Amino acid sequence: FTMAPLSLYISFYTSLAKAISTLIFARLYNPQSPPYRNLKGQNAVVTGANSGIGLSIATALAKQGATVYLACRNVEKVHAAVASIVSQLGHEAATRVFCWKVDVGDLHSVRAFCEKWGEEGRRIDMLVYAMCLDDMFVRHILTACNNI
């Protein structure tokens, strides 16, 4: 009968202590909800809002009263996202959640979006680009929409 090396015992008991402490602290942790802020009268444009983090952000903004414009390139998916938000927040949200077609990878599409936005006389209070985009897109859309 041979004994395992001391380092193996130390590694095992260290891992066991970490696991037990994680379980104990997990039971003590009280999750905090994000603070509510009244966003009525504010316009938010969220790109990539037809699924994932973009949809979650759009839902949270609509829940706080913002008028949310889901800017996506696939109209069918974004209509489904709007329906999802309205079903979660109630029929009143349908008057504050809109879908606009824009392909952020195509500058002509972004320009057309901004021209339409400007014609309707809106301002952008919040711009959330929930896609992997660089700073150049943000500068372009804000410049094209005359909001700098």
- Least Cα distance to 116 among 83, 81, 141 occurs for 141
Contact 130, 46 (CB under 8 A): yes
Q: For residue 107, what pLDDT is reported?
A: 81
pLDDT of residue 135 exceeding 60: no
Q: For residue 62, what pLDDT is reported?
A: 95
Q: For residue 66, what pLDDT is reported?
A: 95
CB atoms within 10 A of CB 23: 9
Contact 82, 97 (CB under 8 A): yes
Q: Which residue has the higher pLDDT, 26 or 45?
A: 45
Contact 4, 27 (CB under 8 A): no
Q: What is the pTM of this model?
A: 0.68
Contact 110, 140 (CB under 8 A): yes
Contact 68, 61 (CB under 8 A): yes
Q: Which residue has the higher pLDDT, 131 or 52?
A: 52
Q: What is the mean pLDDT of residues 26-51?
A: 85
Contact 128, 47 (CB under 8 A): yes
pLDDT in tens, 64-118: 999 999 988 888 898 999 999 999 999 888 999 999 888 877 888 888 888 888 8
Q: For residue 120, what pLDDT is reported?
A: 85
Q: For residue 134, what pLDDT is reported?
A: 53
Q: For residue 142, what pLDDT is reported?
A: 62
Token code pair at residue 82? 């709007």
pLDDT in tens, 40-72: 999 999 988 888 888 999 999 999 999 999 988
